[in-house]
Chain A
Amino acid sequence: MSSKRSLVGILLSSPTLAVLFFLLIGVSAHAADPAVVNSPEAIEVGKTVFNANCKTCHKLDQKYIGPALRGATDRNSAEWVKTWIKNSGEVIASGDSYAVALYKEYNNSIMPAYTFLSDAELDGLLSYIEYGDVVDPNAAAATIGGETGAVGAGGGIPSEYLTVILGVLILVLLLILVVLGLIISVLTKYINRQDLPEDDKEFVSQKFELGKVFKSDAFIIVITALVIALVAKTAIDGLYSVGVQQGYAPAQPIAFSHALHAGQYEIACQYCHTGVEIGKSANIPSANICMNCHTHIQNVGGKEGISPEIQKIYNAVDNNQPIEWVRVHNLPDLAYFNHSQHVAVGGIECQTCHGPIQEMEVVGQHSSLTMGWCIDCHRQTEVATQGNAYYDKLVQLHSDSKDALKVKDIGGLECAKCHY
C-alpha cells in the first residue's frame, strides 16, 4: 500500500513539476540594454520593420538563416547593434572581434545593409527584438497542467516545448502502467488467499499468453488498420509531391553565382531582373545586361585574362546566340503569377519566396510553390495599403475589424485570382 500512496503523490505533483521545469527553461531572463524602451508603440513600429526586412532570415528566439535576435542588446550595446544593422559589412571590415566571429560562424555571409532605416525605426526594431512577441511560459505550462487535450491545438507553442510535453506524458503513462501492474499483483495475492469456485480460480490463475494476443481478432484488425493507414499516408504524401520540385537546383550553362553578384557585391535584384516590378515575368537578364559590367570585368578576383565563364557571355553576344538557362521555378500553366503584383504592389522581398538567394552559388527552388504554400501566405500577409489609393475603400470598409487587412480579406483566396 505504501508504494501506491507514493505513486499517487508523484501523479499529483507532476503538473507542478512540469510548471517548474518550463519556468526554468522557458524564461531566459536577460538584461537588455536600458536604452531599449519597452513600449507597445515602439514594439509595433519594430514589428513592421521586422516583418518587412528581417523575417526572411531571422527569428526572435530561434536560430534560423541568421542568429536568434532576442538578447542582441544584451550581448552588445544598442548603439553597436544599430551600427551593425545599418551596415554590417563595415563593422566586420573594422575588425570588431564579435562581428568577425559572427561573420565566420555564418559561413562568411553578410547581412544586407539597411542604411535606409531611420533611427526611430531602428529603436522600434530593437524594442521589438527584446520585448515583442514574448511567448508566455506560464501560459504554456498552465495548458499542460490543466487540460492536456488542448496541447495539440496550441499552435503558438514552439516545437521543442512539444517534445518535452510528449516526454513527460510518456513518463506519466509508464508510471500508470507500473502502478496498475502493482495493483494487479496485490489483488491477485489477496484473491488467492480466499476460497474461490473452480471457474474463478482458473480465471484468476490463467497465464498471460502473448500468442493468443497476436491471434486475437482485435489485434489483427488494429494492425491491419495501422498498415493501411501508413500505406495510404505514404501514397498521399507521394502524390502530393508529384511535380513539387523544392530544392531543384540544376546546373546552368554559365556558373553564375548569385552569392557573388547579389551577396558580395550587393547588386540590386531589379538591376538584372528588369521585369520584376512591371510585369508578370521577372525576366532572365538578356546578355546585353551582363555586358553592362562585363565589358570591363573580364575575370574574377583580379586574375589576368578572360574567365572561361565570362567568355561564354562574349560568345553569346558575338554569335548572336542566346544563353539557354535552365528554368528553376516552373509554375504550371494553369496558375497565373505576376511578379509586379507581389514586388511592386505588395512590397514582398524577393527572399520571401526565393530564399536567401544572395547566398546561393547555384540557384535552387527554395519554396515548394504549391498552391497550399501560396494560400498560406495569402492568409497571413497583410496588404500593403499604405499610400496606395487603390486600397482606400477597402481599408475604410475594414476599419471596423480588429484584425489587420490580410490578402485573404480582399479576395486573395479566390480561384480566379490565379486561375483563368
Chain B
Amino acid sequence: MKENKKTYWKGLEQLSNDPEFVKHADGEFAELPKTLGEDGSASRRDFLKVMGFSLAAASLAACEAPIRKAIPYVNKPIDINPSIPNYYASTFASGGDYAAVVVKTREGRPIKIDGNELSPINKGKVNAIVEASVLSLYDKQRLAGPMIGGAAAEWAALDTEVKSKLASAGTVKIVANTILSPSTEKALQEFAAVFGGAELIMYDPISNYGIAKAAETYFGSSVIPSYHFDKAKTIVSFGADFLGTWISPIEFAGAYAKTRKISKEKPEMSRHYQFESNLSMTGANADYRTPIKASQSGLAVLALYNAIASKSGAATVNAPKVEVANLDKAATDLLASKGASLVVSGSNDPNVQIVINAINELLGNNGVTVDFANPVFFRRGNDERMNQFVTELKSGQVGGVVFYNCNPVYDHARGAEIAEGIGKAKVSISTNGTLDETSSLVQIVAPDHHFLESWNDFQPKQGHFSLSQPTISPLFNTRQAQESFLVWAGSTTTYYDYLQANWNATLFPLAGNGATFQEFWDQALYNGVVSVETTPSAVSAIGDASVAASTVAQTYKADNEGPELVIYSKVGIGNGTFANNPWLQEMPDPITKATWDNYLTVSQKWAADNGVTMYEENTQKASISVNGKSLVVPILVQPGQANGTFGLAIGYGRTKAGRVADGVGVNAYDLLDASKGFINFDITTGVEIAVTGDSYKIARTQTHQTFMGRENVIQESVLSAYQADASAGRYKPEIYKDGEFIKPSKLSLWKGHQYSQHHWGLAIDMNSCIGCGACTVACQVENNVAVVGKQEVLNRREMAWIRIDRYYSSDAPADDLSGMEVAAENPEVTFQPMMCQQCNNAPCETVCPVAATTHSSEGLNQMTYNRCIGTRYCANNCPYKVRRFNWFKYHDNKDFAGVNIAQNDDLGKMVLNPDVTVRVRGVMEKCSMCVQRIQAGKLTAKREKRTVQDGEINMACAVACPTDALVFGDMNDPNSKVSKLLKIEETTSALKEVGEERAYHVLEEINVSPNVWYFTKIRNKEKNEA
C-alpha cells in the first residue's frame, strides 16, 4: 500500500529525535513563560490587574454607552460609498522590482493590493513584498514634510535653496536605483539639462549587472533578456533563485508553474536542475539539486559547456575538472530538448554569464526561451559606473549629489565610503520618503510620495507600459519627486500634466487606435497597462565565449580550501527597502522558517566539526570576517548547504529604517566585494569564521505545528510512476470493520451535513506550490492578522492563519542513522500550505463547551470570536494545528506597538480591513476561508438576482498565489474550476467523492473529512529517491 519509504522531517531536531523536541512536539501549546511569582503564587501585579478589572467591570455596567458620531461628507464624491470598496489599477515599483497591481480602497483608504490580471508581466499575481507594501504607506516613520539641514522647512524655501545651491555646485550627479519610468527619466533629463548635464547613475542593491555586461560583449547590446520559463522543458540554474528573488520572480514563478502542472490530459512536466551553494527556494523546487561550492560554480558552468559542446561538435575549452553530480545528466537532458531548454545563472560575474550565453546559443535557446531582442529593464544598474562614482564622491570631485529614492549608504557594498563622501559634496539632496541611512546624511530632503499617492508610468519590458495613479490624497506634506525635479528645472507643469503630455507624444501615436487622446488615456488608466507592437531588434552572437571561458577557468578553483561566503537575499525582505514592514519581518523564510533575523547558514558537517548543535530556536553566534570587515551573526544549521560554504542574507541590519527594522540582524552589504568591476555576491577568499560561543535564539516556526511524524501528510511520486498510474504515491488508508477493509470515509460517528446551496472547497496542487509565502502575507492583510514580534514567535504564538509547512525528506529508513545523515546533506524539500481544513466532521466543533465554533450550511467551520471563552480545547483537538489563540491583546497595546503597527497607531490602523473583526485577547481564531468575501460575493449575486459565478468569490491566498497552486470554489457547482479539478462527479452530497487520483486528504484515516484537498507532489526524477 505504501510505496514511499521516505522519512519526512521538518527540522534537524526532529530527524535526530532530540528529546527536547519530542517533549515539545507533544504539546499543542508551548510551555508558558513564568509570569507568576517564583513560588507560583500570584504576584502583586496580578492582584492589581484583577482588582482593576473588577472595578472596570463594575463601572462599565453602571454607565451609558459613549456618544458616537456619524460624520458624513460635506460633498460626497460620486464614486465613494461608505462600505463599498473601489478598485484602481496601479503599479508597484521599487527600483527595478515591479508588479502591475489593483488597489482596493475603502472610504478612500488603500487596504489591499492584488495583481492586475491584464498585465502581461505578472498576470494578476503578486509576491509577499508587493502584498505588504500597502502597510508602508501608513508607516509613522515616513517624513511629514521637506527638511533643510535636519530641520523642517517649507517647499518654497527648499526650492529656492536647491536651485541656488545646485547652480553653483559644479558637477551634479543623480544617483538612483533602476528607473523603469520613461517620463521620470525625461523629467530627470530636463533637470540635468539645467544643471550642467547632471549625470544619472543607476545601481541595483541586488545587482544583475553581469548579465547586461555579458550581453554587451556577446550580443553587442547591454541588456537583460526576457526569459520564457514556460517554454522550457529542461531548466538548469546555477544559483539563480528565479522563483524567489532573481530579476522578475513573480513572472518567472507563474511561467515555471505552467510547466510543472500535470494532469491526465498533460502528463508531462519540465525537469529542473539546480546547482547552488545555499539551499534557495528555487533549489528546493528542483528535481535534481546539487550543492556546489561558490568557488567551483564557474567551473561547473564550463563543465556543462564542454559537455554540450563536445556533443554538438563545438570547440571545448580547457578547464580544471570538477566533480559535480547530475551535471552530465543535465547536459543530456538539455541536448534532448534543444530550443526548449533554458540555462540561467545567478552569478554577477560577466564572464560566467558569457559562457551561459554560449551554452544557450549552442542549445538554440536564444530567441526562444532567452530573448535578447525583447529586453527587460528590471535591472539597469551599472556596477562599474557606481563604483567609480563612489571614488569620485570620496575624493570630493562631486559638487552636488541627488539621491533619487535610493539608499546606497545602506545597500551598496561601499556604503560606508558613500556616507563619508556625502559631506564632501557642496550640496546633497535626497528624495527618500523616510529619514533613512542616506537621507539622514544629506543637507536637503525633499520627500517623495508613497507609490500609492503618486502618478507615474513604467516600461518594465520592451513595448509594455503601465501606469500608477494615486489611490489616496497625500497623507503628509510630501511632493512627487518628479515634480520636484521639474520645479528645480524651472518648469511649472504638474507631473500629471507632464506625464500625459509625454504619453500623448510617445505612446498615443503608437497605441491610440483611432481614439481621442482622452479616450486612450482613460482606457489606459482603467486597464493600468498598455502594450504596443515593437519590432524586436535583430540580435545575433557577435562575441566569442573562449576568452571569457579561459578567464573563468583561471578565476574559479576546483579545490578551494577556505570558507566561502555566499550572500543572498530573502524572499520576504528582499533588498531591505521594505525591512520596516513587520508583515515581511514575521513572514517565515521559505526554507529556514526563521523570522525577524538573518543568520549564517552552515552545513551540518561544519556544525558537527565545530561543535555547534542547534535544537529548535537555540543556537550560537559566530564571528565572520571578510577582508578586515567583521560581523557577529547567529548560526543556523541548514541541510542542503554546500559544505565549506556559508550563506548570509542582505536586507537586515538597518539602522535608520524605523522602529520595526532597526537593529534586526546584521548588514551583509558591508561584506560584498565591489573590487572586481561588478558587485560580487560570492566571497571565496579572505573569509574567516569562528564560533564565539555566545548563545542566541532564532525565532523559527519550523518545528512548530508538527504532525508528529505521520508520513501520510506528504504523498509524492515521480513522473514515470505517475504516467503509469495516476494514483502513484497515494496512501490509501483502510479501516477494518466487520470482516472487511473499508475507506475511512465509509465509517463515521456523524450523520453528516446538508449543503444545499454552496459547498466551499479548496484544492492545493503541491506540484505548483513553490513555498514563496505570498499567500501568508495576503492572508495577514485581508484578515487583520496580528504581528506578534520575535519574542512571541519564540514562545510559539505566531498568529498566521495560513502557514507553509516545509518538509525535508530523505530516503533512508528512520532506523538507519548514518544513511539519513547522508541524505540530510542534500534533502528533498516539499512545501505544503496548511490552513484550517474546514472539516465536515470537525473535531474542534465537538469539544467547544460554548458552541463558539460551529458548522455552517456551506461547509465552513465557523469561528465566533464574541462567543469564545478561550478554553483552547478546539486547538488541542485540531489534528492540523491551525488554530491560533490570542494570548495578548495585540491591538492598542504599547507592548506590541513596535511590531504590530497595523493595529496600534491611528495611521497604521487605516490599513485594517473594516469587514473583519480585530480579535481581542483570550479568543481563538483561524482561517475562515475569507468568509467576508464569500458573504460579499453572495450578496452581490442576490442583489443582481442571479447565481454566484465561479471565480467571483476567491480567498485572499488563492488570489495572491503566483503559481495558482490554490484553487478555491463552490464544489456544489459542477462547472466550477475546483469541481473540475477534483473531478467531483456527484455534487449534491456533503461528503464529496473525488475522481481525481492525485487528490488526497491530509490524515485521511481519521476521517475528519476536510474540504481542502491536496494533490500529490510529482517530481520529474528517474527514480523515487532523495
Give chain A's interface residues, CB within 8 Å of chain B: 238-239, 242-243, 245, 250, 274-275, 277-281, 283-289, 316-317, 320-327, 330, 332-336, 338, 340-341, 344-345, 387-394, 397, 410-411, 414-417, 419-420
Question: Is B894 part of the contact surface with A, judged by Cβ < 8 Å?
Answer: no
Known: A283-B82, A420-B917. A325 touches B69 (CB 8 A): yes
List of A residues within 8 angstroms of B865 by Cβ: 334, 419
Say whether A334 contacts B83, CB under 8 Å.
Answer: no
Nearest A residue to B66, CB-CB: A330
Q: Are B70 and A284 in contact (CB under 8 A)?
A: yes
B858 part of interface (Cβ distance < 8 Å): yes
* Minimum C-beta distance from B218 to chain A (A): 57
Report the minimum CB–CB distance from B858 to chain A (whole Å). Answer: 7
Which 5 pairs from chain A and chain B are nearest by CB?
A280-B83, A416-B862, A286-B76, A415-B864, A286-B73
Q: If the complex has contacts A326-B69, A387-B945, are A414 and B857 also in contact, measured as CB distance less than 8 A?
A: yes
- CB closest chain-A residue, reference B855: A414
The answer to whether A279 touches B756 (Cβ under 8 A) is no
Q: Are B72 and A325 in contact (CB under 8 A)?
A: yes
- From B290-298, B936-944, B958-966, the one touching the partner chain is B936-944
CB neighbours (8 Å) of A283 from chain B are: 72, 81-82
Q: Which residue of A lies closest to B930 (CB)?
A: A420
Which chain A residue has the least Cβ–Cβ distance from B856? Answer: A414
24 contacts between A and B (CB under 8 A): A242-B60, A242-B61, A278-B81, A278-B84, A278-B943, A283-B72, A284-B70, A284-B72, A286-B73, A287-B75, A324-B69, A324-B70, A326-B69, A327-B69, A336-B915, A344-B943, A345-B939, A388-B942, A390-B942, A410-B756, A410-B757, A414-B856, A414-B862, A416-B862
List chain A residues, Cβ under 8 A from B935: 336, 417, 420
Tell me the complex Cα distance, A416–B73, Å: 31
Q: Would you call B516 an interface residue if the criterion is a C-beta within 8 Å of the partner chain's C-beta atoms?
A: no
Residue of A whose beta carbon sits closest to that of B60: A242
Whether a CB of chain A sits under 8 angstroms from the CB of B866 is yes
Q: Quick check: A322 and B71 within 8 Å, CB to CB?
A: yes
- List chain B residues, Cβ under 8 A from A281: 81-83
Chain B residue nearest to A391 (CB atoms) is B942
Question: B32 near A: Cβ within 8 Å?
Answer: no
Evaluate whether A397 and B947 lie within 8 angstroms (CB atoms) in the complex, with A281-B83, A338-B939, A415-B854 already known.
no
Give B contacts to A, CB under 8 Å: 60-61, 65, 67-76, 81-84, 756-757, 852, 854, 856-858, 860, 862-867, 915-918, 928, 931-932, 935, 938-939, 941-943, 945-948
Task: Give every chain B residue within 8 A of A417 (Cβ-Cβ).
Answer: 856, 935
Let me know if A415 and B867 touch, CB within 8 A.
yes
Q: Which residue of A lies closest to B988 (CB)?
A: A397
Contacts of B938 in A (CB 8 A): 390
Q: Is the CB of A341 within 8 A of B942?
A: yes
Which residues of chain B come closer than 8 Å to A279, judged between CB atoms? 81-84
| Chain A residues with CB under 8 A of B862 | 414-416, 419-420
Q: How far is the CB of B90 from chain A (nearest CB, A)?
A: 23
A242, A394, A414 interface centre (most CB from chain B within 10 Å): A414
Q: How far is the CA of A242 from the CA of B71 in the complex (A)?
A: 26
Which residues of A sit under 8 angstroms from B864, Cβ to Cβ? Answer: 415-416, 419
Q: In angstroms, how far is the closest chain A Cβ from the Cβ of B504?
A: 34
Which residues of A have CB within 8 Å of B854? 414-415
* Chain A residue at smallest Cβ distance from B76: A286
Chain A residues, Cβ within 8 Å of B852: 415
Residue of B with least CB distance to A417: B935
Report whether over half of chain A's contact residues are helix, strand or loop; otherwise say mixed: loop
Q: Could you tell me the distance between the alpha carbons of A145 and B932 in the complex, rounded to whole angstroms?
A: 54
Check A411–B70 contact: CB distance below 8 A. no
Q: Which of A287, A332, A341 contacts B72 (CB 8 A)?
A: A287
Interchain CB contact under 8 A, A345 and B72 = no
Q: Assess whether A390 is in contact with B945, with CB atoms less than 8 Å apart.
A: yes
Would you give the shortest CB distance from A370 to chain B, in whole angstroms? 13
A397 to chain B: closest residue by CB: B756
Closest to A316 in B: B74
Question: Are B858 and A327 in contact (CB-based, < 8 A)?
Answer: no
Task: Evaluate contact between A250 and B71: CB separation under 8 angstroms.
Answer: no
Report yes or no: A239 in contact with B61, Cβ–Cβ below 8 A.
yes
Structural contact, A340 and B939, CB atoms closer than 8 A: yes
Complex Cα distance A326/B757, Å? Answer: 40
Which residues in B have their C-beta under 8 angstroms from that of A392? 947
Contacts of A397 in B (CB 8 A): 756
Known: A387-B945, A414-B854. A420 touches B932 (CB 8 A): yes
Known: A387-B945, A390-B947. A420 touches B756 (CB 8 A): no
Q: Cβ of B856 and Cβ of A323 under 8 Å apart? A: no
- Asked if A288 contacts B76 (CB within 8 A), the reply is yes
Q: Which of B72, B84, B932, B939 contacts A285 (CB 8 A)?
A: B72
CB of B464 to closest CB in A, whole Å: 36
Chain B residues in 8 Å Cβ range of A287: 72-75
| Identity of the chain B residue whose Cβ is nearest the Cβ of A238 in the assembled complex | B61
Cβ–Cβ < 8 Å partners of A414 in chain B? 854, 856-857, 862
**Which one of B61, B76, B939, B945 contacts A389 once the chains associate, using CB atoms below 8 Å?**
B945
Verify A393–B74 contact, CB threshold 8 A. Answer: no
CB of A333, distance to nearest CB on chain B (Å): 6
For B941, list chain A residues within 8 Å (CB). Answer: 390
**How far, in whole Å, are A330 and B916 apart by their CA atoms in the complex?**
17
Which residue in chain B gives the minimum CB-CB distance to A392?
B947
The residue of chain B having its C-beta at the shortest distance from the C-beta of A241 within the complex is B61
Inter-chain contacts of B856 with A (CB < 8 A): 411, 414-417
In the complex, the answer to whether B74 meets A326 with C-beta atoms within 8 Å is: no
Bound: A420/B864 CA distance, A:
7
Q: Chain B residues near A341: list those with CB within 8 A.
A: 939, 942
Contact: A325 with B928, CB < 8 Å? no
Question: Cβ of B65: which chain A residues have Cβ within 8 Å of it?
Answer: 243, 245, 330
On chain A, the residues within 8 Å of B74 by CB distance are 286-288, 316-317, 320-323
CB neighbours of B76 from chain A (8 A): 286, 288-289
B943 touches A340 (CB 8 A): yes
List, in ascending order, chain A residues with CB within 8 A of B948's CB. 390
A393–B918 Cα distance when bound, in Å, is 35
Q: How far is the CA of A420 from the CA of B858 in the complex (A)?
A: 15
CA–CA, A393 and B972, complex, Å: 11
Q: How far is the CA of A397 from the CA of B857 in the complex (A)?
A: 14
Q: With a CB–CB cut-off of 8 A, which chain B residues contact A324?
A: 69-71
* Cα–Cα distance between A333 and B756 once the two chains are bound (Å): 30
Given contacts A275-B83, A279-B84, A322-B74, contact A345 B942 (CB under 8 A): yes
Known contacts A327-B67, A336-B932, A341-B942; 16 additional CB pairs below 8 A are: A239-B61, A242-B60, A243-B65, A287-B73, A320-B74, A321-B74, A323-B74, A325-B71, A336-B915, A345-B943, A397-B756, A410-B857, A411-B857, A416-B856, A417-B935, A419-B862
Residues of A contacting B918 in the complex (Cβ-Cβ under 8 angstroms): 333
Whether A334 and B866, one on each chain, are in contact in the complex, defined by CB atoms closer than 8 angstroms, is yes
CA–CA, A123 to B863, complex, Å?
49
Report Cα–Cα, A88/B348, bound state, in Å. Answer: 86
A243-B65, A275-B84, A279-B84 are known contacts. Are A323 and B72 too (CB-CB below 8 A)?
yes
- Write the nearest CB–CB distance from B494 to chain A, whole angstroms: 23
Residues from chain A with a CB closer than 8 A to the CB of B863 are 416
- Shortest beta-carbon distance from B886 to chain A in Å: 14
B386 to chain A, nearest CB (A): 49
Chain A residues with CB under 8 Å of B945's CB are 387-390
Asked if A334 and B917 make an inter-chain contact with CB atoms under 8 angstroms apart, the answer reads yes
Contacts of A335 in B (CB 8 A): 866
Residues in B whose Cβ lies below 8 Å from that of A323 = 71-72, 74
Give chain A residues whose Cβ lies under 8 Å from the Cβ of B946. 389-390
Contact partners of B932 in chain A: CB under 8 A: 336, 420
Taking the closest CB of chain B, its distance from the CB of A375, in whole angstroms, is 13
- A387 to B945 alpha-carbon distance, docked (Å): 7
Cross-chain contact of A394 among B60, B72, B757 (Cβ < 8 A)? B757
Q: How far, in angstroms, from A144 to B746 measured CA to CA in the complex?
A: 53
Q: Name the residue of chain A whose CB is nearest to the CB of B75.
A: A288
Given A341-B939, A345-B939, A394-B756; A420-B84 close (CB under 8 Å): no
Q: How far is the CB of B970 from chain A (nearest CB, A)?
A: 11
Residues of chain B within 8 A (CB-CB) of A394 are: 756-757
